[in-house]
Structure 1
Amino acid sequence: MFSKALLTTVLITAVSAHQNFHQFWINGETPGYQTGIRMPPSNSPVEDVTSNDMACNVGGSKVPSGVETIAASEGDTIKVQWDSSGHPGPITHFLFGPVDDASQATGIGAGWFKIDEVDYVDGKWANEIMQADGMTHEFKLPTGLASGEYLLRSEMLALHGAQTVGGAQFYIGCAQLKITGTGTAGSCGPTISLPGAYKAEDANIYIPNVYNGFDATTYKAPGGDVATCGGSGSGATPSKPSTTAAVPAPANSTVAAPETPVSTPVESPVESPVAAETSAAAPIATPAPEVPEVPTNGTAPAPIPSLAPTTFATLVRPSPTAAPTAGADVAKLWYQCGGVGWTGPTACVSGAKCVKQNEWYHQCLN
């Protein structure tokens, strides 16, 4: 089942929930808006897990990339910022490298290793946690990395359409880093291939019962385990939600209707990196407003009390219990107003109308 606190986040942003990775900070300093990041031509997801676009999104494997490579050190704190999203699911980060020149690395093939993962924490999905913190998430680069250039891959997986094969949506962005480390190349593992590691019918990608009985507390994102580098105890530090608080959402919630993405495979040569590093992290500064900056040289909140037991928000069929109402038989804005098994109000407050999101969930929208 899904947690029941994601409804407000999910449906307020349902119409424009496609997203991109736009900016990052290293120990509180940013190279600038969209600087150091291979930006795709649109904010649409990748849905074909066999596509080369699984590496760095549409057009992200074209080389030379024309993107600036940003200096960092092992152990540094990285904060990423994405567009707002109400689509429930995890966020993960991977490195590909080291390579001699990140701008010439397609990222296609073997050599990726996971350095960060946040799934479903204390009744909230990663996107909910990020939503309450300006759509930012922070983690540390692992120690034991080898010095060299890397691709940093940020992935947000939207599961609202995961009840069908090919319905899960992968939002991907790759940044280019030049990392100073103390490790030996090839010492980080396990490693995976992209494409190749993800299968359309993997249990964490295709979830036929996502709206009916799915237990989000057991979910683990694709891509294998978080890697260790240079031996025991030198891997990435697990991410933790930040202490930013959010406002509880209505008790009954489900996911917004799946959107149809547009993605075009990009064929590029396969290459393998050599990887592994060590250093210290510094505090992260509050992200600046998302306003484009001129390029220059050069991330999760406290549990929020929910009104109902935790289960996968916006992805599970809501239980047939009445939602809070604005009055007798009237549902508030953003609340449920219909769907299979629904026994609560079917009329909305003045100024809102009941809109069908999917078979199980109708919602009051303005």
Structure 2
Amino acid sequence: MEFGLSEEQRGLAATIRTLLARRADSAAVRSATESGPGYDVGLWQTLCGQIGAAALAIPEKYDGAGFTLFETGIVMDELGRSLAPSPLLASVIAAEALLASEDEAARERLLPRIAAGSVATLAWQGPSTAAPGDEPVRAQADRLTGSVCHVLLGDASDVLLVAAETATGQALFEVAPSAVAWTSTPAMDTTLRLAVATFDDTPGVRLTGDAGAALRRAHLAGTAGVAALQLGCARRALEMTVDYAKTRVQFGRPIGSFQALKHRMADMLVQVETTRSVVWAAMYAVATGAPDAEELVHVAASYAGEALHDLAAETIQLHGGIAITWEHDAQMLFKRAHALGQLFGQPHQHRALLAL
């Protein structure tokens, strides 16, 4: 059976694409990365207020749109294509952790804020998110001590969830971002904002329920979300390269007319279309709770990460020297490809998990 987007989903993608074409061109992306929050606050408010991007996968009972994580993946795909920095990935990870928790009071208190556009993030040392500088976060009663590196948009967050070890096992805590000591972490990808969170007898409110299940869901959603961003970046790499090959003239003719380069761009197209198939399959499986969702997410993360790495390198090669200049978007795409590949595990790590 052929799998494709519904008319409503195609409309969502087209709306996001039109908005980003207008508000997230190359100059706007660079300006956003240099701003205080690290993203375009006005664009984020438009995405949330007019389109409901942060609310798509949140149930209507929590003021969400009542769709699924698959629709959120469509938005992430378009965001990846535009290279625009955005809080969406961080907020989705935190929202999915809350939805998988059993703390109804916390869901009723926090999910409407996330749906409305408050930036949320999750600080935890997961299986592929731990860093050498981490000091395990431990909780004594409702006080947290330790540190977590590489927290997405940590110092720009409005809602912060923290995973900590307690005397009875792992637990999730809600912590006021203003109570945390934040240290900004410069990233190779300037569109990615990371920070180190340091907790020193920091007060928190413990969430009830199985923290392990909530964190597994957050990791699954985060990995699938990164794959969707990688799909968008892969599409941008192909489009950018084909457009350049049509206009760059060498030996009196466009370089895109040379057979050898046609073959290379055809290979790029195959990688993009295959990436689309595996990412859509993974996002749909996660959204519907399919029994093979975890396996499909590992497949998508493995293939999308490696494909984007190859496509970004090919984009640099086919553009030539101009691609490594600060003024050209190819260098941004190349950095994004490498940065995304580090967030939730590298391709070889996902393949290793598939082999278990």
TM-score, normalised with respect to structure 1: 0.28
Looking at both structures, which has the greater relative contact order when contacts are Cα pairs under 8 Å and sequence separation is at least 6?
1
Name the one with the larger helix percent.
Answer: 2
Name the one with the larger strand percent.
Answer: 1
